[in-house]
Amino acid sequence: MKLGVCYYPEHWPKSRWVEDAQHMRRIGIQYVRVGEFSWSTIEPTPGELHWEWLDESLDILHSEGLKVILGTPTATPPKWLVDRHPSMLAKDEAGRVRGFGSRRHYTFASLEYREECRRMVTMMAERYGHHPAVASWQTDNEYGCHDTVLSYAEADLAAFRLWLAEKYGTVEALNKAWGNVFWSMDYRSFDEIELPNLTVTEANPSHRLDFQRCCSDQVVAFNKLQVDILREHSAGRDLVHNYMGFFTAFDHHKVGQDLDVASWDSYPLGSLDKEPLYTEDEKHTYLRVGHPDAGAFHHDLYRGCGNGRLWIMEQQPGPVNWAPHNPTPADGAVRLWTWEAFSHGAELVSYFRWRQAPFGQEQMHAGLLRPDAQEAEAAKEATLVAQEVKVLAESIGLDADELMSLPSAGKVALMFDYDACWSLDIQPQSRAYRYFFWCYRMYEAMRELGLSVDIVPSNAPLDMYELLVLPAQAHITPELQNRLNSYQGVLLAGPRTGSKTETYQIPENLAPGPLASLLPLTVERVDALPEHTQPAVSGRWGAGKLKHWHEQIKTELPCLLKDDGGNPVLMGEGRHYYLGSCIDNTLLKASLAKLSEVAGLSTYYLPKGVRVRERGNVIFAFNYSSNTVVFVPQNAELVIGSKCLGAADVAIWKKQ
Amino acid sequence: MKLGVCYYPEHWPKSRWVEDAQHMRRIGIQYVRVGEFSWSTIEPTPGELHWEWLDESLDILHSEGLKVILGTPTATPPKWLVDRHPSMLAKDEAGRVRGFGSRRHYTFASLEYREECRRMVTMMAERYGHHPAVASWQTDNEYGCHDTVLSYAEADLAAFRLWLAEKYGTVEALNKAWGNVFWSMDYRSFDEIELPNLTVTEANPSHRLDFQRCCSDQVVAFNKLQVDILREHSAGRDLVHNYMGFFTAFDHHKVGQDLDVASWDSYPLGSLDKEPLYTEDEKHTYLRVGHPDAGAFHHDLYRGCGNGRLWIMEQQPGPVNWAPHNPTPADGAVRLWTWEAFSHGAELVSYFRWRQAPFGQEQMHAGLLRPDAQEAEAAKEATLVAQEVKVLAESIGLDADELMSLPSAGKVALMFDYDACWSLDIQPQSRAYRYFFWCYRMYEAMRELGLSVDIVPSNAPLDMYELLVLPAQAHITPELQNRLNSYQGVLLAGPRTGSKTETYQIPENLAPGPLASLLPLTVERVDALPEHTQPAVSGRWGAGKLKHWHEQIKTELPCLLKDDGGNPVLMGEGRHYYLGSCIDNTLLKASLAKLSEVAGLSTYYLPKGVRVRERGNVIFAFNYSSNTVVFVPQNAELVIGSKCLGAADVAIWKKQ
Amino acid sequence: MKLGVCYYPEHWPKSRWVEDAQHMRRIGIQYVRVGEFSWSTIEPTPGELHWEWLDESLDILHSEGLKVILGTPTATPPKWLVDRHPSMLAKDEAGRVRGFGSRRHYTFASLEYREECRRMVTMMAERYGHHPAVASWQTDNEYGCHDTVLSYAEADLAAFRLWLAEKYGTVEALNKAWGNVFWSMDYRSFDEIELPNLTVTEANPSHRLDFQRCCSDQVVAFNKLQVDILREHSAGRDLVHNYMGFFTAFDHHKVGQDLDVASWDSYPLGSLDKEPLYTEDEKHTYLRVGHPDAGAFHHDLYRGCGNGRLWIMEQQPGPVNWAPHNPTPADGAVRLWTWEAFSHGAELVSYFRWRQAPFGQEQMHAGLLRPDAQEAEAAKEATLVAQEVKVLAESIGLDADELMSLPSAGKVALMFDYDACWSLDIQPQSRAYRYFFWCYRMYEAMRELGLSVDIVPSNAPLDMYELLVLPAQAHITPELQNRLNSYQGVLLAGPRTGSKTETYQIPENLAPGPLASLLPLTVERVDALPEHTQPAVSGRWGAGKLKHWHEQIKTELPCLLKDDGGNPVLMGEGRHYYLGSCIDNTLLKASLAKLSEVAGLSTYYLPKGVRVRERGNVIFAFNYSSNTVVFVPQNAELVIGSKCLGAADVAIWKKQ
Ligand SMILES: [Zn+2]
Ligand SMILES: [Zn+2]
Ligand SMILES: [Zn+2]
């Protein structure tokens, strides 16, 4: 449980650098991320390298005992480089070149740009690979930010044709897999295939899905190129990339397999304002703290992408600049977010950024320091957290560095799958349906029950879980089917599970496809509803409303919830259950409470806006509401905070 | 009154074909549409023709006694063909090429593509023109679907310049007709004229109107090319095209003149969800049956495009895939839609499609069979209708084939004119105004009165009608003026009638232009209102609200409705009436009830959501509400159903 | 106080011209604007000049005693000219050429087009520079209409690079000024710099601001080119341009410096409907008169652009054609608008247009005459105003021509600055914030208090004002700082004042930057709120709601309003006050009432919808509500109207 900060020495006079490092140390910061946007400072003109500023800067940080996460600057190639390789630029869906002038002006598929990255990363790795301050490397920055995963340039077309040829072998196989006979879309060779943009109406969904997969694989390959260099020249350092919240355009699990740690950039207020997931009421209630499950969801998701290792690379420290509206956080919110991250297993929480820049696109983005170098609110809260970490360590009898060893895994798993996400969102049937939203609402329901949840990829080991939820696992691979067959805990599969083959066709036996062997039922028809049509549902497990997606199912399984025509909505027995519809949050929570009971899991009763998370023998409690609430876990001793939690407050308990 | 189905043998293994044909026959299907998207199966590579599958498929259908409607596959040219003629692709209004990857990837104006079509259609017509199964040909598929009538490519510009030169003779005539002096828009030659897209602000409305007309004429010419070939090689077969609902981008009356039958594709749920015509309340109330007048309106409109002959080429059989939300139809809705079509004179109702495809863009579009070849709901309802047709035929003493001879024309005509539609929508003055919506609401009001309405083109004979409504006949041609002068029934002209000349200018005597000879009045000024400003209107014929469009009129005619300033809104006497404003539905219904009285027409009192239609001595009653209602016509004997109609129910009565 | 009209003789047969001129005179019109869209009539083909029609037309107007404002026709270059210089066309932000077919099809930066303009304007100026009818010249028409200030074509890029080189001297200076180090955006030469469109995400705000300034300067240069020619060949005539309402894309103060008079085009109903400034409630209440402060605001703003001289070049006379909805004005509204203009110092109110055109884009735009040459409503109201002007002149003992000499300046100044507008809108932080809207609401509050306000540029002399309001003066130049230092009246600075440097950086001492010397405070943090979050504010000066923008301020100044955390919102003492948040209209009015008291200004109590304006010893009262209200100023004698004002009514009083 360590603190860090993102720092841009190149933005400030050298005369400030020593004072900055000392100030960081005073606050309790141990890690500093450096360098990820500095290409034009390192190489202002082709081949003319300026390392001296970075040498000096790393030495100063080192001399103050700070550890460095060094970023490769490949998210911001300089203008001269772009002018040399104009074909490296991405094109948007409308076919327009996305030019220089901000950042991320490249397409992952550009082989020319990959060569430039190889050159730069090799130079950096050779120079700093063994620098004593360098503890870690960050590859690039926020892959995919500003919608940059899908690109429609010549380089992307070339990559796509190759990718398809490799996947399908023959074009006849591709025609069959995509069902190209449908509208005379058959191809005679891979060279006839185009990108799925600018078509007259929707392109073939199989075509679109493969394009998404190919683009995701370009991200993986782009990252792997850097990873290979860094492993060679800087062995033993943690390799990491900083993912974003609410972002699914590439397969984070695949990228994560090549790295040592997963990190992400946590902006609770900006995302609340921007994401269509949230209702107007939620936006209003949680304006200054963010939604209670936004941080938690991503912590659990990315811990699953990092083989259990999680950092927060950028933590919002105050108002930001990029959301439609940018309010100030509540007093205490920065502390709340930091402890929430630690409770989910984060080893490091690093604030973005050290000092607010007075220039550039993000000049209205707060830092720990204001532009005039005075401490902003967040600096005080970070200082407090650093002290509290010590208190916690002491009270549970660990040295502060050992806190990392506290187990962070839960007994409940929710399967999140990028491929399923792409598949289902390509054809949502009801505009109200989104894979991510549905997963989030299932997670939220479990978290309102106080369950500590792991969010796992489809290839994760499942044996350690008492309860496994597949929110909407579109395609069940034979390999997953095998693991599910032997899984001994309680399984809940949600609507759309097993509804597609690998190449986006309807399975021969209809949904849930192969899963029908565990859940003997057939999805006969789908009722995809508008937002405001919410038919009633009720049964032994509760009553509520259907939303967005409602399957008509034929089954002999016992029904726990039925629609108002008496048709099965939630069904199953023993260890296997199927939910055929999206249902409202309250009924979802009630249903998951029943399943927890079946699985032998105990749950909490929590006031509105309150969340808990357990890690080893420590219980963390968080109050996202703006009321003072009382929360006392059983058989536990208070370590930090009080049983009365004010707005944005935190309490920490030790189990007895 | 026959049933049909759309069938794609090329999507399924040959081993299924015989079973499919037999199953169709069991349901009571007599017609099968085949072939319209199969170009790449017929000609997978240039000049290599594969007819064998189609030969076999037609033979199987024939051997089961099924009749075939054979589609020309020109809506889906294969990739190799597009690569040979890249200039055949359309461009959108933003100037972007609309590429291969779905369907309808061509512009009607492309002479190169027309030659390819000539080649393919000739081959097909020669091969199958006299095949005993082939009863009919469908040209292409859904002209204009996915906004493909207006295109802004080089081929379109060339066609437009030619079209203008032909229409105007000299560029001076064009400059005068368009009023190009207005903003120095004068041209020196036809070659200077551009397409009306990507201008700095709105292009000259005369320019826009002529472009719309030219594009519509390209559709007519494209269709005529195929018609001429088919007439030559397959004489005696019915030629047909399948139009779409709520679609006005080309002149369907002109296309219809070259064909034998009009058909359309009826998707009641999808259109309810998509069309801005409908209120939120209507969308909610009719979620699972569609709006009560959507089918009827188009049946009457397209019967008028088909010289009295009407087919439904695609009837929605379950949830579709292309609307923002895709709910399931109510139980009985498919039967309801089918009988509604028959009641308006349809000879054939053909379901789309036989078996749901497990691949491609429409894999979530239901069929009569599910993807696993089991019967879906609609198959049962179709079977029932086939049996009920026999009952009806017997009970009125006709052989089933003779049902077609029941007269379907009404005594009331509503004039619908594509040219008027384009004219008025180019400059609606109030964003709330749309020609189609206004026509629809007038039709709805008459249908709520139980009137059986013909929707007629502006060149239709008028003598057989007791009441004639011109909702908004923008330009009154001298020829139409003559027919109106001698018309002996009751005439109602609506707002904007006579407000434009042929080249989109204001008539010298202001609106209603030449019609002032029958309706002595002058439209002095127009009040074009926002949606929520609805001034009061009242008078001898009722009271209500003004909406969208309100004319300030000077006249000596008696006033039947006045605005709250005492100005005339509805005026006239004897046989000639003028309505100067859009008014709310209830007042519209009251006013049309009065006019029906003047015209000596009797009307029905119908419960909300109930509609009737008469055909010969048969009365059809339909319940679109979700309540059970009682409906008993006078002096009639029940043939099918009951006087208590449940939700989505049908009753059929024979007049005594 | 004179009336004028916009007239297009080229649209009508010569046989009408004499009758037109006589009819104008009968109404009381003295000025006629002519010629501004007539290039293709003057020069239908290159070099073939047709002046005869314009000669004749001017002679006829002259012979009827009418004065002419002659427009240069450069807003509508003919097609042949565009075909000769295709690079003169603008490109939109998406990079698409904005083609011929309407108007304003050129970019201001095109040197080729400037040469064509030089040729045309020189010919016109030489021919008509001394014509006895020509009293004034209008340059071009509505600069920037249809979003034409920002253009992204090659000519614009060339101009921008030059402009930057001139401003910054070295590219290093530019890199520093823009903070290009931020995302490796450093340039090595001015030739590397691109336009700020089509970037992956937001371009650097300093880049965007300089581009806006450069484009504005292109407008200034384009106008200056014509001014220089006209000054040379037509000395002594008033040079004028017609600005638009709610339009800020170029610096009107800079353009105004080169002209003699400022004029603008006043369309009260169209702008009410179109502008997001207004609430739904305001749109409804003022549907037929326009918002009570829309005309006034622009009269005061543009009088400040014209060194005190103001004309209305186009006054809406009835329904227009270009708004989303186009209702008819209330009876009396045209008179109301005309007198409102006169009360703010307008020398001339000119109606657009003489006779409604029956063709072209604006055929639904009303004129004083209908298309059939009959008088429309507005003609009657104009006639009445012409008579009332004589009554007013007599009653205050002036000859009608001397009315112009009535002083129009107020004692209160509101500073409006185009550069501040661009700066703050580039990064609004809350989508709800807009500089223009906030200035307007401050103006509205003062006008509801009956204050006569001058809207002044940032370089205006300030000594004559008792109260000076800086709504949001983003950058305080040293020169302005000096004038503020010596200013002796009461000063109110609003939120965001002093928050940016000249090159869009945060000042070293944070906001309010240099102004902290007068207002000792520091803006520590900003809370940028969504529309519906409106925290409470209260204090000695009233209570209400915070909106959109809320600064967290550290200061020792006395607090007059505080937020609910007790933080200062409105603070100050003596002559200097700072408001750190946007506040609701009612509290804004209360606060300005307090400040008026401090400044020794007397205010009015006015019924809702009523406004007054003083000019010399004349008091004008206007009723924008739809109720009859009573208004009686103290110590004044009624000259025109009555103390009971009906809807859209005017009363004029003489102070005793
Ligand atoms: Zn970031
Ligand atoms: Zn279709
Ligand atoms: Zn104008």
pLDDT tens for C332-355 read: 999 999 999 999 999 999 999 999
Interatomic CA distance for residues C3 and C64, integer angstroms: 15
Centre of ligand 2 to C-alpha B302, Å, is: 16
Nearest CA-CA partner of A455 in A609, B147, A444, C345: A444
Nearest to B628 by CA among B652, B651, B647: B647
The H-or-E segment that residue A82 falls in is helix A79-84
Q: Check B142, B275, B347, B381 and give the catalytic one.
A: B142
CA distance B222 to chain C (A): 28
- Read out DSSP for B340-375? HHHHTTEEEEEES-SB--SSSTTTTS--SB-TTSPB
Question: Residues of A with catalytic annotation?
Answer: 142, 314
Residue C640 has pLDDT above 90, yes or no: yes
Question: Given CB atoms, is A78 within the 8 Å cutoff of chain C?
Answer: yes
Chain B CB within 8 Å of residue C407 CB: no
Which residues, numbered 423 to 452 in chain A, qualify as contacts with chain B under a Cβ-Cβ cut-off of 8 Å?
A: 427, 429-432
Annotated binding-site residue? C615? no
pLDDT of residue B416: 98
Contact criterion met (CB below 8 Å) for C269 and C290: yes
Q: Are B186 and C79 in contact (CB under 8 A)?
A: yes
Interface of A with C in 116-155 (CB under 8 A): 145-146, 148
Which superfamily does C2-149+217-402 belong to? Glycosidases (3.20.20.80)
| The pLDDT of residue B402 | 83
Q: Report which bound ligand comes closest to the CA of A71.
A: 1
Q: Where in chain A is the domain with CATH 3.40.50.880?
A: 412-598
Give whole-number Cα distances, B217 to A653, B118, B140, C443, in Å.
Answer: 79, 18, 16, 56
Residue with tokens 């029956």: C358
Q: Given this model, what pLDDT does residue A403 score? A: 86
* Cβ-based contacts of C273 with chain B (< 8 Å): 530
Which pLDDT score, from 0 to 100, does residue A402 have?
83
Chains that contact A by 3+ CB pairs under 8 Å?
Answer: B, C
CB C374 within 8 Å of CB B510: no
Task: Identify the CA nearest to B82 among candidates B66, B102, B62, B63.
Answer: B102
What tokens were used for A609?
């806006």
Q: According to CATH, where is 3.20.20.80 located in chain C?
A: 2-149+217-402
For A634, residues 6+ apart whose C-beta sits below 8 A from its C-beta are none
Contact B79 A185 (CB under 8 A): yes
Ligand nearest to the CA of B103: 2
Domain C610-655 sits in which CATH superfamily?
A: Golgi alpha-mannosidase II (2.60.40.1180)
Non-local CB neighbours of B289 within 8 Å, separated by 6+ positions: B268, B269, B329, B330, B333, B336, B624, B647, B648
Chain C residues with beta carbon closer than 8 angstroms to that of B204: 101-102, 360-361
Q: Is the ipTM of this complex over 0.90?
A: yes
Query: Quick count: other Cβ atoms within 10 Å of Cβ A402?
Result: 12
Q: Judge whether B449 and B589 are in contact, CB under 8 Å.
A: yes
Average pLDDT on C378-400 reads 94
Tell me if chain C has a CB within 8 Å of the CB of B552.
yes
Pick the residue of B8, B79, B80, B374 with the most A CBs within 10 A to test the interface with A by mutation: B79
Would you say B513 and B541 are in contact if contact means Cβ atoms under 8 Å apart?
no
Alpha-carbon torsion (C26, C28, C31, C32), positive or negative: negative
Q: Which helix (H) or strand (E) holds B264?
A: strand B261-266
What distance in Å separates residue C138's CA from the closest CA in chain B? 16
Nearest ligand to the C-alpha of residue A75? 1
Centroid of ligand 1 to alpha carbon of C165 (angstroms): 32
Which ranges of chain A have pLDDT less than 50?
Answer: none
| C287 and chain B in contact, CB less than 8 A | yes
Distance B554 CA to ligand 2 centre (A): 48
CB contact under 8 A, B184 and C78: yes
Ranges in chain B annotated CATH 2.60.40.1180: 610-655
CB-based contact C321 B427, cutoff 8 Å: yes
Considering only CA atoms, which of B185, B232, B236, B189 is closest in space to residue B207? Answer: B185
- pLDDT confidence bin for C312, thresholds 50/70/90: very high
CB A255 within 8 A of CB A219: yes
Report helix, strand or coil for A510: coil
Q: Which residues of A198-231 are buried (b: 16+ CB within 10 A; e: fewer)?
A: bbbbbbbbbbbbbbbbbbbbbbbebbbbbbebbb
Query: Residue B539 corresponds to which tokens in the numbers above?
Result: 């008078």
Q: Which ligand number lies closest to the CA of residue A265?
A: 1
Nearest partner of A299 among A161, A384, A208, A414, judged by Cα: A414
A192 and B CB contact within 8 Å: yes
* pLDDT > 70 fraction of chain B, expressed in percent and rounded: 100
Tokens of A71: 């970023």
Annotated active-site residue B275? The verdict is: no
C141 belongs to an annotated ligand binding site: yes
**To the nearest whole angstrom, how far is the Cα of B506 from the nearest Cα of chain C?**
5
Eight-state DSSP code of residue A259:
S
Integer Cα distance of C262 and C310 in angstroms: 5
Kindly list the residues from chain A whose CB atom is less than 8 angstroms away from the CB atom of residue B96: 94-95, 198
- Residues A145 and A244: their CA atoms lie apart, in Å, by 8
Catalytic residue ranges of C: 142, 314
- C188 in reach of chain A (CB within 8 A): yes
Is B141 part of any known ligand binding site?
A: yes
Test A508 with B273 for CB contact under 8 angstroms.
no
Taking the Cβ of residue C626 and every Cβ of chain B, the question of whether any pair is shorter than 8 Å is answered with no
How many angstroms separate the CA of residue C145 from the nearest CA in chain B?
A: 9
Mean pLDDT of C184-202: 98
- Please tell me which residue of chain C has the smallest CA distance to A320: C429
- Residue pair B163/B100 in contact (Cβ under 8 Å)? The answer is no
User: In this complex, which chains have at least 3 CB pairs below 8 Å with chain C?
Assistant: A, B
Chosen for mutation from A174, A182, A211 (greatest number of chain B CBs closer than 10 Å) is A182
Distance CA C655, CA C642 (A): 15
Tell me the pLDDT tens digit for each residue of B580-595. 999 999 999 999 999 9
The whole-angstrom separation of Cα C244 and Cα C108 is 17
State how far the Cα of C280 lies from the Cα of A151, in Å rounded to an integer. 41
CA distance A441 to chain C (A): 25
Chain B residue with the nearest C-alpha to that of C83: B192
How far is A328 from chain C, CA to nearest CA, in Å? 5
Distance in Å, CA C39 to ligand 3 centroid = 17
| Residues C160 and C193 sit within 8 Å (Cβ to Cβ) | yes
**Contacts of residue A206 in chain B, CB cutoff 8 Å?**
359-360
CATH of region A412-598: 3.40.50.880
Distance between CA atoms of residues B53 and C629, nearest Å: 85
Q: Is B361's Cβ below 8 Å from some Cβ in A?
A: yes
Task: Tell me the nearest-neighbour CA distance from B217 into chain A, angstroms.
Answer: 21
Long-range contacts, B156-161 (Cβ 8 Å, 24+) = B156/B90, B156/B91, B156/B107, B156/B109, B156/B195, B156/B215, B156/B218, B157/B194, B157/B195, B158/B109, B159/B109, B159/B214, B159/B218, B160/B193, B160/B195, B160/B210, B160/B211, B160/B214, B161/B190, B161/B191, B161/B193
The ligand that comes nearest to the alpha carbon of residue B141 is 2
Cβ neighbors of A649 (< 8 A, separation 6 or more) are A332, A336, A622, A623, A641
Contacts of C378 (CB under 8 A, 6+ apart): C317, C318, C334, C351, C366, C367, C368
CB of B566 within 8 Å of any CB in chain C?
Answer: no
> Three-class SS of residue B256?
helix
Q: Is C366 on the interface with B (CB under 8 A)?
A: yes
Round to whole Å and give the CA distance between A643 and A630: 5
Residue C246: the pLDDT is 98
User: Which of A78, A102, A283 lies nearest to residue C200, judging by beta carbons?
Assistant: A102
Distance CA C95, CA C536 (A): 46
CB of A38 within 8 Å of a chain C CB? The answer is yes
Say if A328 is an interface residue toward chain C (CB within 8 Å).
yes
Give the 3-state secondary structure of C231-265: HHHCCCCEEEEEEECCCCCCCHHHHHHCCCEEEEE
DSSP string covering C550-583, please? EEEEEE-SPEEEEETTS-EEEEEETTEEEE-EEE
Contact B505 C321 (CB under 8 A): no
Q: B404: how many CB neighbours lie within 10 A of its CB?
A: 16
Query: pLDDT class for B170, splitting at 50, 70, 90?
Result: very high
Distance C362 CA to ligand 3 centre (A): 10
Among C307, C392, C294, CA closest to C345: C307
Distance C142 CA to ligand 3 centre (A): 7
Question: Is pLDDT above 90 for C405?
Answer: no
Helices (H), A109-267: 111-128, 154-168, 171-178, 205-233, 252-257
Please say if the pLDDT value at position C400 is more than 90.
no
Confirm if A469 and A417 have CB atoms less than 8 A apart.
no
Residues 6 or more apart in contact with residue A650 via CB below 8 angstroms:
A332, A335, A336, A339, A620, A621, A622, A623, A640, A641
CB pair distance less than 8 Å for B188 and C326: no
